[in-house]
Amino acid sequence: MSFGSPWFTLPEFTYHKPKTLKEALELLDKYGEEAKVMAGGVGLLAFMKERLMAPSHVIDLKGVPELGQAIYKEGEGLTIGATVTLNELARYGPLKKFGALHDAVRDIADPIIRNRATLVGNLCEAIPWVDTPPALIALGAEVEIRSLKGERRVPVKDFIKGPVEIDLEPGELVTAVHVPEPRRNSRSRFIKYNTGSEFALVSVAANVVMDGGRVRDVSLVYGAVSSTPQVAVKAADALKSAEKPWEVLDEVGRIASEEVEAVSDVLASEEYRRHLIRVLTLRVLREVMG
């Protein structure tokens, strides 16, 4: 293939715009692996231009009204439909209760992209440096998956299987993401570190449940460091088991920076990433525990 061409045209495909979820599922069932669903299209079309994907059928979900809502129910949590855009979500009042997600959504790319890109698309794209997956994992979110055969729910943590690889069978689509009601005395934040480029070099989401002076529970999740979001289990354990958690923050940061997978690429070396993991862990913990 000639140089330059992958960035220009789209491969040939048939465009479908179903009006109901049922219709969408039927199309998906019919075309199976040949089909890709499209939400905002920000990621999908870029992938298609680069020939990383070449579906013969593109099923646009934006015509399905029941996928376009974000609903918060006190005590149950937040359900975000598949075509809710990042900006719609950012403007949705109850999002503030979900600190880490609120942080992540507000900072993605720029207003133009956020007007088009969706949260579910951001998650399903599953490229290593996107922002919402670490926040969703830290908050214990689940993915709602539907096909003609039925419905299933998967934790976001298990849903992302690899770079651009998600737990989705042909015929299935994600209808929503469900974020449970934050636990009492919990607090979550997301910090993204980047210089001069939109994408994170390293990001971290932390969700803690405090119990007096101790940390009863904590989730620490890192984005952009490796091919999938990384959960720091040992670091979390160290923090939970500490009698005086404020005094072990340095140590927790160190453990996290050693335990998770980290890679080198154009934007940063592995060494620098591990360094940043340590620094950001400290910063995020100070914020959520404070």
Residues between 250 and 279 with contacts to another protein, criterion CB under 8 A: 266-269, 272, 275-276, 279
Q: Judged by CB under 6 A, which of 64, 95, 101, 131 binds ligand FAD?
A: 131
User: C-beta of 225: minimal distance to ligand FAD in Å?
Assistant: 14
8-state DSSP, 81 = E
Residues between 106 and 125 with contacts to ligand FAD, criterion CB under 6 A: 108-109, 113, 117-118, 120-122, 124-125
CB-based contacts of 2, cutoff 8 Å, min separation 6: none
Give the total of residues touching ligand FAD (CB under 6 A): 28
Question: Taking contact as CB under 6 A, which single stretch among the options 6-14, 30-38, 209-217, 247-255 is the one that binds ligand FAD?
Answer: 30-38
Q: Judged by CB under 6 A, which of 25, 44, 101, 220 binds ligand FAD?
A: 44
Binding flag, residue 177, ligand FAD (CB under 6 A): no
Answer positive or negative: Cα dihedral of 166, 168, 172, 178: negative
CB 147 within 8 A of CB 172: yes
CB 137 within 8 A of CB 223: no
Q: Judged by CB under 8 A, which of 184, 195, 243, 247 binds another protein?
A: 195
For the beta carbon of residue 25, count every other beta carbon within 10 angstroms.
Answer: 21
Nearer to ligand FAD, 61 or 137 (CB): 61
Q: Contacts by 159-162 with C-beta closer than 8 Å and gap 24+?
A: 159/123, 160/123, 160/126, 160/133, 160/228, 160/229, 161/126, 161/228, 162/126, 162/227, 162/228
Name residue, tokens 């992938």.
47
Nearer to ligand FAD, 249 or 276 (CB): 276
Which residues contribute to the site for ligand FAD (CB under 6 A)?
Answer: 36-44, 61, 82, 108-109, 113, 117-118, 120-122, 124-125, 130-131, 168, 173-174, 198-199
